[in-house]
Amino acid sequence: MNATGLVSPHGGRLVNRTGAKREAKEPAIAITLTQHQQCDLEMIAIGAMSPLEGFLGEADYHGVCERMTLANGTVWPIPITLAVRDDLAGRVKVGDRTSLLDDKGRLLGYLTVRERYKQDKRKQAIGVFKTEDMAHPGVKVVMEDGDTCLAGPIDVVTPRHDPMFPAHRLAPAQTRAAFEKHGWKTVVAFQTRNPIHRAHEYITKCAQEICDGLLIHPLMGATKDGDISPEVRMKCYEMLIANYYHPEHTMLAIMPAAMRYAGPREAIMHAIYRQNYGCSHLIVGRDHAGVGNYYGTYDAQQIFETLPPEGLEIQTLNFENTAWSKKAGGMVSEKSFPLMEGDRVSLSGTKVREMLSRGERPPAEFTRPEVADILIEAMRQGG
């Protein structure tokens, strides 16, 4: 814990790689970043990935894949790399300064190349995702990346051109300042990439009883095909917070990270992000950051038990699967109310999408009607 009463940044210091000036003479080599790499650049630059100051070197890369730590022993679960194609890598030497561009050719910043090394894609896939299956969206991104990693510190001129939701796009230093202004010492973060339904609302409000404040912190970086658009999700969050949460104890900000769908390891990554943003707690529920059937229901909770005591300062709030019970007349979990056949109002994502596509609201016990209306309208408009 630091002098403000909030948790300390991971590694003890909040990194800031923003504020660089455009160089008078641009480097000879420019690298166009993928969507995932652009997200990583922004997250490093604003301090959300503290203590990283740039893309991982080889020793850190292998430490993360093998032991879930950087070379110096700091807990770190997922490699953050700048992998490029061999034709480009062949032109880059250690010591070079390169420009980093977005997908429209606009300057984001610069990389000072300290290392070049080969990416071990199979090792990374098995270590991080527990699978080499190309149907896994995280594995697919890694396998389609280049084979050579360029490592070194970054200096960022503009973390993101034309950023979405600028009023809610707060860097860790800004969320920490906001928490101090509110007088919050303990803050619980809720990670989501979907609209919030009644079960999510229930666990966030349980968490609010424990902590001073709730940060609803949706991931708004690169996600997989089929996920609901950021614009639609933001409408749902704003509506829900305005009507169903206490304004003095609830805050909405977005996190511009890329989703990797790495299940347990990504849960640790999400915890590190939120510790850097100033949160003392993170909600970890059923199948956190999972996809398909690659991970066990509560693997993402159990992995935190394997970390050394000094691994993270942030704590997890673990929740069982929750749903509306007709018998109890409210939200329950498998821990708080016995299972009874036909008692729970629980719908699959496919079933919900089918209902929305027909203009039907799912039961009010599953989702707030206002959220359903936003989703129905979005489907009508093809969004």
DSSP state of 296: -
- Tell me how far CA of residue 162 lies from CA of 107, 156, 172, in angstroms: 12, 15, 20
**Position 32: which residue type?**
T
Active site residue 193: yes
Q: Which phi and psi (to 5°) does residue 73 adopt? A: 95, -5
Nearest to 233 by CA among 213, 248, 255: 255
Out of 2, 16, 194, 318, the active site residue is 194
* Angle between helix 349-357 and helix 369-380 axes, rounded to 10 deg: 70
Backbone dihedral angles phi then psi of residue 79, each to the nearest 5 degrees: -65, 135
318 is catalytic: no
Of 84, 77, 98, 115, nearest to 260 by C-alpha is 77
From the candidates 116, 169, 176, 193, which is the catalytic residue?
193
From 123, 15, 129, 32, select the one nearest 85 (Cα to Cα).
32
Give the DSSP per-residue string, 226-278. Answer: TSPPHHHHHHHHHHHHHHHS-TTSEEE--B-PPP---THHHHHHHHHHHHHHT
Q: Is 128 helix (H, G, I), strand (E, B) or coil?
A: helix
Residue 343: CA count within 13 A, CB half-sphere = 16
**C-alpha–C-alpha distance, residues 159 and 382, integer Å:** 30
Question: Sign of the C-alpha dihedral, residues 216, 17, 257, 239?
Answer: positive
Tokens (6 digits) for 325: 């019970």
Rounded alpha-carbon distances, angstroms, from residue 379 to 106, 228, 335: 33, 10, 36
Instruction: Return d(Cα 318, Cα 305) in angstroms, integer.
Output: 12
Within 135-229, residue ranges assigned H as helices are 137-144, 172-182, 198-208
Half-sphere CA count of 208, side-chain side, radius 13 A: 18
Q: How far apart are CA 33 and CA 145, in angstroms?
A: 11
Which residue numbers are catalytic?
193-194
